[in-house]
Amino acid sequence: MKSAISSSLFFNSKNLLNPNPLSRFISLKSNFLPKLSPRSITKSPSSSTSALRSISSSMASSFKPEQARVPSALPLPAPPLTKFNIGLCQLSVTSDKKRNISHAKKAIEEAASKGAKLVLLPEIWNSPYSNDSFPVYAEDIDAGGDASPSTAMLSEVSKRLRITIIGGSIPERVGDRLYNTCCVFGSDGELKAKHRKIHLFDIDIPGKITFMESKTLTAGETPTIVDTDVGRIGIGICYDIRFQELAMIYAARGAHLLCYPGAFNMTTGPLHWELLQRARATDNQLYVATCSPARGSGAGYTAWGHSTLVGPFGEVLATTEHEEDIIIAEIDYSVLEQRRTSLPLNKQRRGDLYQLVDVQRLNSK
């Protein structure tokens, strides 16, 4: 261990004994940074900037930022459009499934009438959020039609209105298994992607809340990123947002936007809901949109609400309280490049020290 340390850090024993701390600091800096002559620094602001860029480039090369993602991160693709409006439909949910479907349809139509090109629905919007309800309200999405009236509605509306719909989530039945599943429909009405919640909501906070999705649901096994008419979108469902690795994988795959339908509760919602959204957006320098059910009185599970759109600098661009609401907000993808230029994190990662492995991409090569 001593040899490893000494090979990385070149301390001068005289400097360590020097009572002047500034001289020690200057000496340590000189061992890590290329030397700049006073002439190169004072010659002109532009030459000084050029010299600093040279330092940055040299350091980046030794830090191997391209190796911080395995496989290497994909470049951010050019989006189909730069600006558009997103609609977040915070809906009340009842035990009447037909009513829930009709209600969601009207909300989507209203959001589209207000200019939304992308509409996001809440987690479990066609059913009460409970382990008792999931088996009763579950649908066979692959069969479609009468076997899945919720997704049949989403397909019809997306095609008729020529919009992209991130269909929140519904309970899905596949044989003897149940999943918490989000369907993405394109403006042609076709099912473009299906995300099954990867991280199940199993928590026990004594005196506050206990919920075990794993009693009835099966965890999904695949990250989901999809190219749409409004850009490349990574999908997560509620508890998925707590796992930064998933968001990092989506960013490395070139996502412009992350969408998380979610139903945080009254214990974790006030503390973590906005915090996690802003963290995922800031860390990965992209947009994050969330959509919650509205808070229902007398419901067995009480949702926090507060559907939100966060920008790539961690700024809250639009949000609401806990009642039913439809949020319309603008997404401007040109901001992504601005933020990534100002804070070039992709060029500053330490691939020589750490790596994030995208197992799915690595195994598909």
Could you list the active site residues?
A: 123, 197, 238
Q: Sign (positive/negative) of CA torsion 78, 79, 81, 82?
A: negative
The answer to whether 249 and 214 have CB atoms below 8 angstroms apart is no
Amino acid sitting at position 92: S
Distance CA 82, CA 84 (A): 7
Distance CA 286, CA 340 (A): 9
Residue 277 CB contacts under 8 Å (≥ 6 apart), including other chains: 241, 260, 288, 290, 308, 310
Distance CA 90, CA 304 (A): 11
309 beta partners = 289, 318
Q: Is 124 helix (H, G, I), strand (E, B) or coil?
A: coil
The answer to whether 86 and 331 have CB atoms below 8 angstroms apart is yes
Residue whose token pair is 């997704």: 151
Distance CA 264, CA 238 (A): 7
Residue whose token pair is 């369907």: 183
Count CA atoms closer than 13 A to 365's CA, side-chain side: 7
Give the long-range contacts of residues 3-8, CB within 8 A, separation 24 or more: none
Distance CA 223, CA 193 (A): 11
Amino acid sitting at position 219: A
